[in-house]
Structures are given as C-alpha cells and as structure tokens.
C-alpha cells in the first residue's frame, strides 16, 4: 500500500508537469525517496518516505522581440508582490500598468532593489519624437530609459530548493529559505524562459509508473488470495 501511495504521487507530479509544458517560467517537479527512522512502541522502525522537489534546471530562452520580456539565464528568481505577499517567479513577461508600475501578466508589482519599480516617464517618452522611448534592460537588471538609469530589477537565489513551495501561476514561496541577492544570473531582454519540462521524458516516466502500479496491484491480489486460502484451510481444523 505504501508503494502504491508513492506511485500515485509520482503520477500526480507527472500529470502536473505535462499540464504546464507551455507555461512560461514553469519548473517541473521531481520525486525523491529518503529513509526515515522513528520509534513506534519502543521499537525502532525504518521506512521509506517520498518527497517532492522543484527541478530548477534551465528552460529554453525563447525570443519574442518584446522589450519588456525578460528571461533569466542562471539560478535566480524575480521577486513580485501580490496581495501584500512576496513571491518568487521565473516568468519575466512584464508590462507597465496605467500608473507606470512595472508588473507581470497578473498585475503583480515587480520588485527592484529599492522596492516597486515605478517609471511613469516611460509613457511620456512614448509620445516624444526623436526615437520615443528607448527602454534597455541590461544583463545585470539595470533599467535605462533613453540612456538614463531608473532602477535595477531585483534577482534573488534560494539556499535550499527543497523548501520551495508552489503557489500556482509559476509562483513560489520561500518561508523556510534564506534569500540572497543574485549577482551571477544574466537577464536577457526580449526573451522569456519556457517551461523546463521534457514531454518525452515525462511520458516515459508515466508509462513506467503505470506498469509498476499494475505490478504492485497484482502482488497485492496474489497476497490476498494466498491469505484467503490459508484462512479457509485453517478453518477446516
């Protein structure tokens, strides 16, 4: 039964990965197993426990030509604020709202090193002649508008990816992690990072899981039949 439960969790993770193949910035889930020892009625018992971990391998950077799309090459995360709570994400499809704040596709405020990124001058520059608004996002996150520096996008790294918790919409929470500023990742303007799920790998994994699940079911039925026969035979005496 414990094996069936672990296989069921593996199938759920695979199904979620496949459902998010086309989700920008999505990071797949991988399963791992660890041995846990505990005391039960004074007896030391060792059992296998399944766990989930976010696969932080790099996704493909897809070119879009949109100056407000930003992809991360490296291990860093963007920080966005939504509903008064900070989240981590790899989805860098940004835009300016009507007030001049840099937001993501859900309207959450993208965080810079000084807080919310506010550049109302962007809309003023759009209506100007001589080239209008020339927005440049450098590889280190520095934002320049017509060669004038305005802000720098905040990038962070986490100490232990195992403690990352999914929050939907390619968001992660990191309550158990210590965040540190990321100076190694590189930002690519005009790109976004696609999900890092390999559909072929996931489909093969799904078929293997189904085969193991069916084998375990057969083993349980065989054991049940054996116990049933033993009980019937013992009942004759």
pLDDT tens track for 131-179: 578 899 999 999 999 999 999 999 999 888 778 888 888 899 987 767 8
Q: Count structural domains, the chain.
A: 1
In this structure, what is the dihedral angle of CA atoms 111, 113, 115, 118, given to the nearest 10 degrees?
A: -80
214 is a domain residue: no
Residues 6+ apart with CB under 8 A from 126: 132, 133
Residue ranges making up the domain that contains 134: 61-193
Over the stretch 72-91, which tens digit does the pLDDT of each residue have?
999 999 999 999 999 999 99
187 is a domain residue: yes
* pLDDT at residue 50 in the model: 65
101 is a domain residue: yes
Contact criterion met (CB below 8 Å) for 94 and 104:
yes
Taking the model in full, what pTM does it have? 0.76
41 is a domain residue: no
CA distance 197 to 93: 19
Over the stretch 84-137, which tens digit does the pLDDT of each residue have?
999 999 999 999 999 999 999 999 999 999 999 999 998 877 766 555 788 999
211 is a domain residue: no
* pLDDT at residue 231 in the model: 75
46 is a domain residue: no
* pLDDT at residue 130 in the model: 55
In DSSP terms, 49 is beta-bridged to 34
98 is a domain residue: yes
22 is a domain residue: no
């Amino acid at each position: 039964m414990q094996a069936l439960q672990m296989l069921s969790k593996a199938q759920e993770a695979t199904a979620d990965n496949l459902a998010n193949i086309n989700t920008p910035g999505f990071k797949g889930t991988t399963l791992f197993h660890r041995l846990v020892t505990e005391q039960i009625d004074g007896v030391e018992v060792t059992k296998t426990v399944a766990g989930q971990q976010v696969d932080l391998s790099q996704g493909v950077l897809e070119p879009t030509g949109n100056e407000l799309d930003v992809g991360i090459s490296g291990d860093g995360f963007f920080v966005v604020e939504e509903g008064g709570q900070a989240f981590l994400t790899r989805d860098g499809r940004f835009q300016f709202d009507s007030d001049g704040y840099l937001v993501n596709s859900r309207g959450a405020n993208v965080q810079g090193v000084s807080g919310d990124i506010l550049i109302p001058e962007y809309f003023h520059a759009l209506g100007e002649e001589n080239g209008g608004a020339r927005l440049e996002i450098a590889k280190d996150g520095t934002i320049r508008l017509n060669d004038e520096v305005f802000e720098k996008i905040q990038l962070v790294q986490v100490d232990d990816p195992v403690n990352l918790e999914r929050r939907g919409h390619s968001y992660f929470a990191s309550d158990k992690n210590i965040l540190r500023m990321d100076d190694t990742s590189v930002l690519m303007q005009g790109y976004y990072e696609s999900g890092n799920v390999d559909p072929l790998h996931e489909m093969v994994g799904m078929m293997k899981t189904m085969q193991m699940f069916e084998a375990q079911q057969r083993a349980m039925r065989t054991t049940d039949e054996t116990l049933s026969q033993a009980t019937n035979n013992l009942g004759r005496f």
